Amino acid sequence: MIGKNIVEIRKRKNLSLSELAERACISKSYLSNIEREINQNPSILMLRKISIALNVNLEEVLDSGDYSRSSSFPIEKEWIEFVHDLQSSGMKKEQIHEYKTIMEFIRWQNVQKTDKEWKEGNLNDRTYTHPPSGGRDEPCGN
């Protein structure tokens, strides 16, 4: 079920298997095995890395419910207010994709900053918000 959730979310976000694997700093074959449910028991760290790369809550990856089609999925009040703010500022629904790249860049910057702080030992258990990119003491590729 977890593998199917990951595939569905990945496709909904228009990401290829390779793109998601790279963003999550895991091998493409390992991600493929999770998605095809060959690996039916991935670690919580791996699932968290995937959820961060997908920019979704870990619960959405783990949940057997279908968030994309469920009308009972509660939308947080802050999101509704955010959308209203965007609309009142004159933004059209068709323009959202233009801002997606900017938001992804800001998220990437935040991950890089956290990776640097992790590597330098400036994060403790209270400030730790996500695993380093590679799940190691160094970011991916280092």
Tell me the CATH number at 57: 1.10.260.40
Q: What confidence score (pLDDT) does residue 64 get?
A: 61
Q: What confidence score (pLDDT) does residue 78 get?
A: 77
Q: What confidence score (pLDDT) does residue 74 get?
A: 59
Which residues of the chain have a pLDDT value below 50? Answer: 66-72, 125-138, 142
End-to-end alpha-carbon separation of the chain, Å?
Answer: 33
Q: What confidence score (pLDDT) does residue 142 get?
A: 45
Q: How far, in Å, CA of 116 to CA of 60, rounded?
A: 28
Q: Which of 3, 40, 6 is nearest to 20 (CA)?
A: 6
Q: What confidence score (pLDDT) does residue 140 get?
A: 64
Q: Which of 68, 104, 67, 103 is nearest to 86 (CA)?
A: 103
- 65-75: per-residue pLDDT in tens? 544 444 445 56
Domain that holds residue 29: 2-62
Residues 6 and 51 in one domain: yes
Is 104 part of a structural domain of the chain?
yes
Q: How many structural domains is the chain composed of?
A: 2
Is 51 part of a structural domain of the chain?
yes
> Treating both helix axes as pointing N-terminal to C-terminal, what angle do 28-35 and 17-24 enclose, rounded to 10 degrees?
110
Q: What confidence score (pLDDT) does residue 135 get?
A: 42
Is 122 part of a structural domain of the chain?
yes
Is 67 part of a structural domain of the chain?
no
Q: What confidence score (pLDDT) does residue 87 get?
A: 83
Residues 13 and 56 in one domain: yes
Q: What confidence score (pLDDT) does residue 23 get?
A: 92
